[in-house]
Chains A and B, each alone.
Chain A
Amino acid sequence: MSKVEAAITVCNLEKKFGDLVVLKNINVKIKTGEVVCVVGPSGSGKSTFLRCINYLEKPTNGDIVIGEWWLRGTEEKSGSIHVGNEQVAKEIRKSVGMVFQSFNLWPHKTVLENVIEAPLMVKKIKKSEITKTACILLEKVGLLDRKDYYPHQLSGGQQQRAAIARALAMQPEIMLFDEPTSALDPELVGEVLNVMKELAGEGMTMVIVTHEMGFAAEVADNVIFMEGGYVVEEGSPEAVFNHPKTDRAKQFFSSVL
């Protein structure tokens, strides 16, 4: 993927589950190297928005453009344009990594095996070679000494750091984080956020759905506040957190900050 000004462009994105509209008229531009935090109350569509970006959810209308790849809503009428979505999703996923709230590490594989699985099976990289890379990544997330442990032998924070290493092993240019610390004990949140801060410092383009407002304020270039399926506020953390324009955002931040 070429380094373009806008890493992700989302136009008029809409997502319906049956008759229920969960995302409506979403327009977002994310630049290369930018860290964007998506905040808002539960059920506001934050996670669905994030999951549309790598096509884990199929958008019903609108467009998502990532690099040269273009995902279209499944309900759009103009001829056969949405036929290629599955193929486009494959291309997009090559450069977009994802970290889940519940880690989703594969329990029957050790940390190292989790990290090398996709490079081994998808990129067909030699095992000796990818093992070396994996060890460097595990060192980076502070888990090299745990590489032969199974996920259930690790704490939540360690599992999430392993999941980050697993995503990084595919050398993505964009990382999506879906509430990466929401399933963690409070005292384990910091270690995961630190790894994410380090990534942000290296210039990784990141889209992070989070309830950690302090983290968002510190790391984000942009904050998106969502409510009821709409993007209600968008701007610098300072602007969104301290001077929200809408009553709903004011009310939300006054209760969480």
Chain B
Amino acid sequence: MNMNILEISLPLLLEGLKATLLISAMAICISIFVGGLIGGLYISSNWLLHGIAYLYIKIFRNTPFMVQVYLAYYGLPALGLNVDAYWTGVIVLALYTGAYVAVILESGLRSVEKGQYEAAAALNIPYITMLRRIILPQIMGIVIPPLTSQFIMTVKESSVLSIITIAELTMMTNKAIGITFSPFEVYILAGIMYWAINICIERIAKYFEKKAVRYQA
């Protein structure tokens, strides 16, 4: 690689990497809360609560992320809500990921035998305590692998946010290409950076997964 290309593009890409890391981390954290809430509503026997979760999942899971981003970016100001592009991007990415997290958690919750809930109920253990201490620890081994895939997707999908002027890794990559006219080299560099983030996510997730299933050994 021409040293000049590296010299010009690396600072730009590192700046983009920082933004991508921050956006993804925030979106993933928010999506866990959103997904937990929606997943909890989804298994509710109350038809209204279930309905809300159902609708949420149907909308966010079955439309392209790019369409959601555009709709929010152009739609919110039209509705009089002036959210800047950055936060629009973070929130939409979180809501989109949250729909998948909800479905993953829901299938995990359903995988636990009814008797596990009943044993807790018969002992008067409060519902939230039961979820936190009895049910969730049991489903971690089941939900962490699909959640990992989902969070990796989130990092990759964050590249779409370049279309609404967010200076994340993909946008900075295009900027660097505009200066250096060397798409091949710069894209390789960007690819390596996305790859590195996701390898880290995989490693962290593996650690938690191993910890979660240790009791089965």
Contacts and interface: CB of A to CB of B under 8 A. Distances in A.
Contacts of B122: 54, 56, 93, 96-98, 167
Interface in B165-217: 215-216
A256 B163 CA distance: 75
Interface string B111-128: 001011011011111100
Interface stretch (B20-28, B80-88, B130-138): B130-138
Given A102-B115, A152-B216, A107 B138 contact: yes
B2 interface: no
What size tier do the contact residues of chain A reach? 20 to 34
B118 A118 contact: no
Interface residues of B, number: 18
B129 interface: yes
A5 to B, nearest CB: 25
Interface string A137-170: 0000000000000101000000000010011001
A90 interface: yes
A167 B122 CA distance: 9
Given A100-B118, A107-B215, A121-B133, A93 B138 contact: no
A98 B124 CA distance: 11
A122 B118 contact: no
B118 A108 contact: no
B115 A104 contact: yes
Contacts of A70: none
A78 to B, nearest CB: 25
A234 B49 CA distance: 46
Nearest to B132: A121
Given A93-B124, A121-B125, A108 B137 contact: yes
Interface in B129-168: 129, 133-134, 137-138
Contacts of B124: 90, 93-94, 118, 122, 170
Interface of A: 54, 56, 90, 93-94, 96-98, 100, 102, 104-109, 117-118, 121-122, 150, 152, 163, 166-167, 170
Given A108-B138, A122-B123, 4 more contacts: A94-B124, A102-B113, A106-B134, A122-B125
Interface of B: 113, 115-116, 118-119, 121-126, 129, 133-134, 137-138, 215-216
28 contacts: A54-B122, A56-B118, A93-B122, A93-B123, A93-B124, A96-B122, A97-B122, A100-B118, A100-B119, A104-B113, A104-B116, A104-B118, A105-B119, A106-B116, A106-B134, A108-B137, A108-B138, A108-B215, A109-B215, A117-B123, A117-B134, A118-B124, A121-B126, A121-B133, A122-B123, A122-B125, A122-B126, A167-B123
